[in-house]
């Protein structure tokens, strides 16, 4: 298991941010946690660090419904950045939405590894981190 995993959380829910931050901090494999409250902030960060594999996240946990730029808007821009990035990043959608439209829309984005309905359980996180 990699002991230097950088995790990016893109979610506007303060309670979820707090919960997942504390859950991730107990995992010895997690090196750095980078939180953002909308997709635009995260996109600015990725573009600024596009060539820095030590700073870029290994994994992104992305919410769908957020202000400024939602998860789908983020993914549209992210897909365009992939050829320029020096690091492969694994993206998971983490959403409270159980709407089949969201599941189907997410399936159309090949760069998304999986769709997980919140709340994410610790055993799910452990499995995801172990796969990196």
Q: What is the 3-state secondary structure (H, E, C) of 2-68?
A: CCCEEEEEECCCHHHHHHHHHHHHCCCCEEEEEEECCHHHHHHHHHHCCCCCCCCCCEEEECCCCCC
Say which residues have a Cβ less than 8 Å from residue 38's Cβ, sequence separation at least 6: 10, 12, 66, 67, 68, 69
Query: What would the mean pLDDT of 89-118 be, rounded to a whole number?
Result: 92
Query: What would the mean pLDDT of 110-118 be, rounded to a whole number?
Result: 94
> Domains (ranges, CATH) in the chain?
5-131 (3.40.50.2300)
* Residue 108 DSSP one-character state: T
- Please state the φ and ψ torsions of residue 124, each to the nearest 5 degrees: -70, -45
Supply the pLDDT for residue 132.
82
| Res. 27 pLDDT band, cuts 50 70 90 | confident
Percent of the chain beyond pLDDT 90? Answer: 74
- Please state the φ and ψ torsions of residue 7, each to the nearest 5 degrees: -115, 135
Percent of the chain beyond pLDDT 70? Answer: 98
Query: What would the mean pLDDT of 39-47 be, rounded to a whole number?
Result: 97
pLDDT at 1 over 50: no
| Residue 70 to residues 36, 95, 123, Cα–Cα distance (Å) | 12, 11, 27
| Res. 2 pLDDT band, cuts 50 70 90 | low
| Res. 122 pLDDT band, cuts 50 70 90 | confident
1-10, 18-27, 39-48: which is most confident: 39-48
CA distance 82 to 111: 9
Supply the pLDDT for residue 28.
86
Query: What would the mean pLDDT of 48-73 be, rounded to a whole number?
Result: 95
What is the Cβ-side half-sphere exposure of residue 62, based on CA atoms within 13 angstroms? 29
Contact 20, 61 (CB under 8 A): yes
């Amino acid at each position: 298991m990699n002991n230097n995993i950088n995790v990016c959380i893109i979610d506007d829910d303060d309670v979820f941010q707090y919960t997942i931050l504390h859950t991730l901090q107990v995992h010895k494999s997690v090196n750095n946690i980078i939180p953002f409250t909308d997709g635009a902030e995260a996109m600015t960060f990725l573009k600024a660090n596009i060539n820095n594999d030590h700073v870029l996240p290994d994994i992104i946990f992305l919410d769908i419904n957020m202000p400024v730029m939602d998860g789908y808007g983020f993914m549209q821009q992210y897909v365009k950045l992939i050829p320029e990035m020096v690091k492969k990043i694994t993206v998971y959608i983490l959403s409270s939405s159980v709407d089949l439209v969201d599941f189907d829309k997410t399936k159309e984005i090949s760069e998304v590894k999986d769709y997980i309905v919140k709340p994410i359980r610790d055993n799910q996180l452990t499995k995801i981190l172990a796969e990196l």
